[in-house]
Amino acid sequence: MTVSADPHTDFPVGFRGRVLRPGDNRYDAARALYQGRAADEGPALIAQCADEDDVATVLRYASARRIPVAVRGGGHGSDEYAMPGGALVVDLSPMKAIAVDPVTRVVRAQPGVLLGELDAAAQRHGLAVPAGTVSTTGVAGLTLGGGIGHLMRRYGATVDNLLACDMVTVDGRKVRADATENPELFWALRGGGGNFGVVTAFEYRAHPVGPDVVAGQLIVGFDRAADVLGRLPAHMATAPRELGLLTAITLAPAPTLPEEVHGKPVLVLVPVYTGDLGKADEAIAPLAALARPLANLVTPMPWLRANSLLDAIAPHGKRMNSTGGYLPALSADAIDALLTHGSSAPPNPGAATTINLWCMGGAISQDTAEDETAFSREGAAWLWEAIAMWDTPEQDSPYAQWATAVDAALRPHSLTNGYTNLTDDLGEEWRRGVHGSQAKHQRLRAVKAAWDPDNLLRFNKNIAPANTESARAA
């Protein structure tokens, strides 16, 4: 990494948090992200904010000088936008307050909170906020992109349960966005990503969940994978909303499996049933009968464990690539593409290079209309995501090639809309369609123009403001 002259010698002295520059003791630890490629280049200045006043101080400084600003929430993005080389970074990781009101079931979280922390705080009151599946993911980036997980069929996406945001504008003003105050901004914050300002608090509606649920893995031999995937749509069409289902085409995880399949491709079904425990068997047994698994590891367990089962295959600091899309149906051709490419993934011990397939339906598909939020879900029956993880820059090429090949094979079966958080930026055409209709795209550009006309928040899946040259080209 090259260290250049400090471009921020005039950074405001009134900033109360920690300011880190290249060469400072804690700089390298602070710039480390989930995405290992972030280590290749470092930002010019990391402003670790103590509170929203600090956020306002940095943004006022940046907007007065028209300096673009990167934002780090939980640091779990699959790209390096949270710590770009040479950038000024608003780092929210110290802002970790969580407040749970057990009576109203409203949960308020600051943007440095991670999903495991949110889950633990809510579970102390028997509650959960519908969110993601890996406990080290940040609430901030996840929420602003949409938020999907084991509870989405029962309670919807995270944004469907978002009640309000506190936000600092790019020129340093503090505003609130909810259904009545700045409603258009609130609409855009529910799926439009970090394009409009820096969110300093999220308020969610939580729901009773657990403490025990029934979850685990059904490991299906690869010879049966096509048949099982072919029959899943009909099965899940009548499954209860309390049953979440993620499937993965991956290399067999040892040591829970017979030795003969170690290192070989398998189909893994991950059911998570969060309803009445007395009815769990009714929900799981037919799925297990359909799957006829080599190993059935589904068992009662605390929700906190079920919602961190995937942590084991999601280690921090790997170099990674993520791409994905929505499938309107699991056609035979799509299944063939999933299995062909899932079984040819370059292996990486201790991490998942895998194609995941999430079953949509239920609340996420039926309870919130497409145009109610910027997050798009129209027509999506299944969501696929291909994740490649590896260790060194020398390995970049084979893993990136695998991801490109998966994308090329599955894109023709996919919808134009998609989930921004589980796909690295695929360029302008993808960004134009990923939120759904052209009307939604134009609406997002208008909100961007109103709140960030100079596009200072551009280190993201960027929505070009409606009044700029780049927007006219979009």
Ligand X SMILES: Cc1cc2nc3c(=O)[nH]c(=O)nc-3n(C[C@H](O)[C@H](O)[C@H](O)COP(=O)(O)OP(=O)(O)OC[C@H]3O[C@@H](n4cnc5c(N)ncnc54)[C@H](O)[C@@H]3O)c2cc1C
Nearer to ligand X, 20 or 92 (CB): 92
Among 44, 144, 306, 374, binds ligand X (CB under 6 A): 144
CB under 8 A, 24+ apart: contacts of 180-187: 184/447, 184/450, 185/447, 185/450, 185/451, 187/372, 187/373, 187/374, 187/443, 187/447
Kindly write out the interface string for residues 21-50 of this chain, putting x where it contacts ligand X by CB under 6 A and - elsewhere: -------------x----------------
Nearer to ligand X, 294 or 389 (CB): 389
Residue 14 token pair: 């009134």
Region near ligand X per CB under 6 A, out of 146-154, 171-179, 217-225, 226-234: 146-154
Distances (CA, A) of 271 to 132, 216, 364, 422: 14, 6, 17, 20
Work out how close the CB of 223 gets to ligand X at its nearest, in angstroms, rounded to a whole number: 29
Token pair recorded at residue 256: 């829970």
Q: Which is nearer to ligand X, 145 or 265 (CB)?
A: 145
# of chain residues touching ligand X (CB under 6 A): 35
Measured CA to CA, the distance from residue 149 to residue 105 in angstroms comes to: 19
Q: How many residues does the chain have?
A: 474
Q: What angle do CA 408, 411, 413 make, to 5 degrees?
A: 125
Minimum distance between the CB of residue 102 and ligand X, rounded to whole angstroms? 25
Provide, rounded to whole angstroms, the least separation between the CB of residue 420 and ligand X: 8
Structure tokens at 241: 């909303």
Interaction residues for ligand X, span 375-394 (CB under 6 A):
none
Residue type, 403: A
408: tokens are: 């090329």
- Bridge-based pairing of strands 45-48 and 88-91 is parallel
Write down the least CB distance from residue 430 to ligand X, Å. Answer: 16
Q: Kindly identify the residues of this chain, within the stretch 183-242, that bind ligand X according to CB under 6 A.
A: 193-194, 198-199
141 touching ligand X, by CB under 6 A: yes
Tell me if 159 contacts ligand X by CB under 6 A.
Answer: no
Q: Least CB distance from residue 340 to ligand X, whole Å?
A: 24
Choose, by CB under 6 A, the member of 414, 421, 423, 462 that binds ligand X. 421
Binding ligand X (rule: CB under 6 A), the pick from 76, 190, 443, 445 is 76
- State the nearest-atom distance from the C-beta of 461 to ligand X, in Å: 8
Alpha carbons 337 and 325: distance in angstroms, whole number: 13
> Least distance (Å) from ligand X to the CB of residue 151?
11
CB of 341 to ligand X, least distance (A): 19
The one-letter amino acid code at 355 reads I
Q: Which stretch binds ligand X (CB under 6 A): 68-76, 251-259, 274-282, 464-472?
A: 68-76
DSSP string, 282-327: HHHHHHHHHH--SEE--EEEEHHHHTTGGGGG--TT-EEEEEEEEE
In the complex with ligand X, the residue whose CB is nearer, 209 or 422, is 422
Q: What is the nearest approach in angstroms of ligand X to the Cβ of residue 418?
A: 12
Residue 369 neighbours by CB under 8 Å, 6+ apart: none
Single out the residue of 17, 149, 192, 244 in contact with ligand X (rule: CB under 6 A).
149
- Distances, alpha carbon 166 to alpha carbons 110, 111, 169, 173, 346, in Å: 9, 10, 10, 11, 43
Return the residue of 22, 36, 42, 138 that touches ligand X, per CB under 6 A. 138
Of 56-64, 128-136, 221-229, 270-278, the segment contacting ligand X by CB under 6 A is: 128-136
Of 199 and 434, the one with the shorter C-beta distance to ligand X is 199
Select 35 or 416, whichever has its Cβ closest to ligand X: 35
Please state the three-class secondary structure of 163-197 as a single string. Answer: EEEEEECCCCCEEEEECCCCHHHHHHHCCCCCCCC
Shortest distance (Å) from residue 11 CB to ligand X: 20
Q: What residues from 287 to 316 belong to the interface with ligand X (CB under 6 A)?
A: 314
Site string for ligand X, 104-123 (x = CB under 6 A): -------x------------
**Cβ closest to ligand X, residue 82 vs residue 474:** 82
Q: Which of 244, 235, 219 is nearest to 303 (CA)?
A: 244
Residues 6+ apart with CB under 8 A from 471: 445, 449, 464, 465
Name which of 242, 232, 193 is nearest 79 in CA terms. 193
The H or E element spanning position 358 is strand 354-359
Judged by beta carbon, residue 221 or residue 399, the one nearer ligand X is: 399
Which parts of 93-170 are beta strand (E)?
A: 98-101, 106-109, 127-128, 162-168
- Residue choice 17, 22, 73, 342 for contact with ligand X (CB under 6 A): 73
Residue 302, strand partner residues: 212
Should residue 147 be labelled a site residue for ligand X when binding is judged by CB under 6 A?
Answer: yes
One residue of 134, 213, 290, 415 binding ligand X per CB under 6 A: 134
Distance CA 472, CA 474 (A): 5
Point out which residues bind ligand X (CB under 6 A): 34, 71-78, 81-82, 92, 111, 132-134, 137-138, 140-142, 144-145, 147-149, 193-194, 198-199, 314, 421-422, 459-460
